[in-house]
Amino acid sequence: MFRQLIGRLSNFRGGFKVAADGVVPLAYNVNLNTPERAKYWLEQQRLIYPPKPDTKDPVTGAIIVRVPLPVPAHTNLGQPGGIDKKRPFGNIAIGQTLAHLWKKGRGKDSIGEQIVDMLPRTDAGKPTATAPMIALACAALHSTLEDYTIQPFRRSEFEGVEDVYKLYLCLLEAIAQRKPQWYAEVLEQTLKNVSAEGSSKTTVTPSQREQEALSYLDLSD
């Protein structure tokens, strides 16, 4: 069942990029004239963290206060220390990307309806997201942010991103091992945001890029 889900998600790979293209400008406050801002979110994989309230735009220095809306509008930016490092994969943009994809199609033909029965369940019987789903969404967000670093802007296809996908999957696996309670919360909360694994026993040495990314991950108590 799990392999079938992974295969189904791979078929929708292009949809992840289209979804991320729609989410990134507002979620990360980037546009065609802000390549440095896009680079900021890419550095140290900051894109996975939610910003703290009352933080500064790293480009303009302006104080941006998060406005409490029914759906949190994480359009404010942080600065080093201005993102919530204790909540990796807590950025609502991840759930928003999955939501765009989830609702593609109508009724029983929607992507969400096609995969919901394949998803793992909590003890209460509620479906949760999977690490590959979240890693694919993050890879798509990463890809779109990279597009905004290029001048003039050029939209890329969602190709050749396997290493980026593995990077975010590596971070998720580290959290699953060190912070299992937060990991479970991320999987459950991400799918909640969408709708309002099997794990390998093979030990794989992280690549140099993955090791660097892991060094930025704060898993301390």
Q: Does residue 76 form part of some domain?
A: no
Residue 201 has pLDDT above 50, yes or no: no
Please provide residue 63's backbone torsions phi and psi, each rounded to the nearest 5 degrees.
-75, 130
Residue 11 has pLDDT above 70, yes or no: no
Domain count, the chain: 1
Residue of 82 and 131 predicted with greater confidence: 131
d(CA 3, CA 42): 30
Residue 172 has pLDDT above 80, yes or no: yes
Q: Does residue 67 form part of some domain?
A: no
Q: Does residue 214 form part of some domain?
A: no
Q: Does residue 188 form part of some domain?
A: yes
Residue 19 has pLDDT above 80, yes or no: yes
Cα of first residue to Cα of last residue in the chain, in angstroms, is: 35
Q: Does residue 113 form part of some domain?
A: yes
Taking residues 3-14, report their average pLDDT. 51
Do 129 and 190 meet the contact criterion of CB atoms below 8 Å apart? Answer: yes
Side chain identity at residue 109, one-letter code: D
Side chain identity at residue 77, one-letter code: L
Residue 169 has pLDDT above 60, yes or no: yes
pLDDT-derived band at 42, boundaries 50, 70, 90: very high
Taking residues 124-135, report their average pLDDT. 83
Q: Which domain holds residue 13?
A: 2-31+90-200
Residue 88 has pLDDT above 60, yes or no: yes
Q: Render the chain in DSSP notation, one character per residue.
A: -HHHHHHHHHHTHHHHHHHHHHHHHHHTT--TT-HHHHHHHHGGGGGGSPBPSSEE-TTT--EEPPP--SS--------TT-B-TTSTT--HHHHHHHHHHHT-SSGGGSHHHHHGGGS-B-TTS-B---HHHHHHHHHHHHHHHHHTTSSS--PPPS-S-HHHHHHHHHHHHHHHHH-HHHHHHHHHHHHHHHH------S--PPPHHHHHHHHT-----
Q: Does residue 114 form part of some domain?
A: yes
Q: Does residue 50 form part of some domain?
A: no
Taking residues 67-75, report their average pLDDT. 34
Q: Does residue 69 form part of some domain?
A: no
